């Protein structure tokens, strides 16, 4: 993992409370599709790189699922334990999962796979996953097929030294590994209700904002606010609460 990637991956702990408050969850349909190959019956699920528990919360609400959440950052893990007491929360990483071999039926990764050291993580995931089990990565992103959202991204990225607001045109991939079969992909739409201030607070939990110079970050926020002030989707929303269209990409593969 390059040093820049490592610094971004480790930037979230100091804003754990904001991350828990402002990041979106995952639509039920996306989780349904991720777990569909397992059928019905009791299922042991690992939420790997669980953060503050955005995905863990949805998993623990499902009947028949027993959920273990693994997160390397102590501050994120503390928030997860507070918010999702129904999960077994363990400190660990994708490269060193604190579980025995063949311990789980599914490994789900919400918004974190791109931070893993793939060469070390994939054998570890294969080790803890039972044959026939599911590995699925889920990524929330703004829906860049919507004209005003694409315009917001163009404005937000202009003249900014640090890249990184994801949108649905991005195509995340699961790394190949001989322990896993052919991958499948699906997308699911959903929406967040928020204000212009709420969008800025959400962006403040993204790694590009956390590692940017303060002046660059504030300049980006100003451009975004100015753009939103020109859009009827925002200015015409009752009480200033508008809907931000999102897409959740899900990549799924099975353990051989």
**Which helix (H) or strand (E) is 47 found in, with range?**
strand 43-48
**Which helix (H) or strand (E) is 30 found in, with range?**
helix 28-35
pLDDT at residue number 9 = 55
pLDDT at residue number 154 = 94
Alpha-carbon Rg for the chain, nearest whole angstrom, is 18
pLDDT at residue number 166 = 56
β-strand 43-48 against 104-110: which pairing, if any? parallel
pLDDT tens for 31-43 read 999 999 998 889 9
pLDDT tens for 42-77 read 999 999 999 999 999 999 999 999 999 999 999 999
How far is the C-alpha of 130 from the C-alpha of 125, rounded, in Å? Answer: 10
How far is the C-alpha of 254 from the C-alpha of 131, rounded, in Å? Answer: 8
Question: Which stretches of the chain score pLDDT less than 50?
Answer: 1-4, 7
Question: What is the pTM for the complete model shown?
Answer: 0.92
**Which helix (H) or strand (E) is 89 found in, with range?**
strand 88-91
């Amino acid at each position: 993992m390059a040093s820049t990637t490592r610094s971004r991956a480790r930037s979230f702990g100091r804003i754990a409370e904001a991350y828990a408050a402002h990041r979106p969850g995952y639509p039920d349909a996306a989780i349904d599709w991720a777990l569909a190959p397992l059928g019905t019956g009791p299922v042991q699920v690992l939420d790997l790189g669980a953060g503050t528990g955005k995905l863990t919360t949805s998993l623990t609400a499902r009947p028949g699922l027993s959920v273990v959440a693994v997160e390397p950052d102590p501050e994120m893990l503390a928030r997860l334990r507070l918010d999702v007491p129904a999960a077994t929360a363990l400190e660990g990483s994708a490269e060193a999962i604190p579980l025995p071999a063949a311990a789980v039926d599914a490994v789900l990764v919400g918004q974190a796979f791109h931070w893993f050291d793939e060469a070390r993580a994939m054998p570890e995931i294969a080790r803890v996953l039972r044959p026939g089990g599911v590995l699925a990565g889920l990524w929330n992103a703004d829906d860049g097929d919507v004209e005003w959202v694409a315009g917001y991204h163009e404005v937000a990225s202009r003249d900014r030294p640090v890249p990184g607001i994801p949108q649905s045109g991005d195509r995340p991939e699961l790394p190949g590994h001989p322990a896993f079969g052919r991958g499948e992909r699906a997308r699911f739409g959903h929406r967040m209700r928020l204000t212009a201030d709420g969008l800025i607070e959400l962006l403040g939990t993204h790694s590009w904002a956390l590692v940017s110079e303060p002046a660059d970050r504030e300049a980006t926020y100003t451009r975004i606010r100015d753009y939103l002030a020109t859009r009827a989707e925002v200015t015409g929303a009752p009480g200033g609460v508008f809907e931000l269209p999102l897409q959740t990409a899900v990549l799924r593969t099975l353990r051989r």
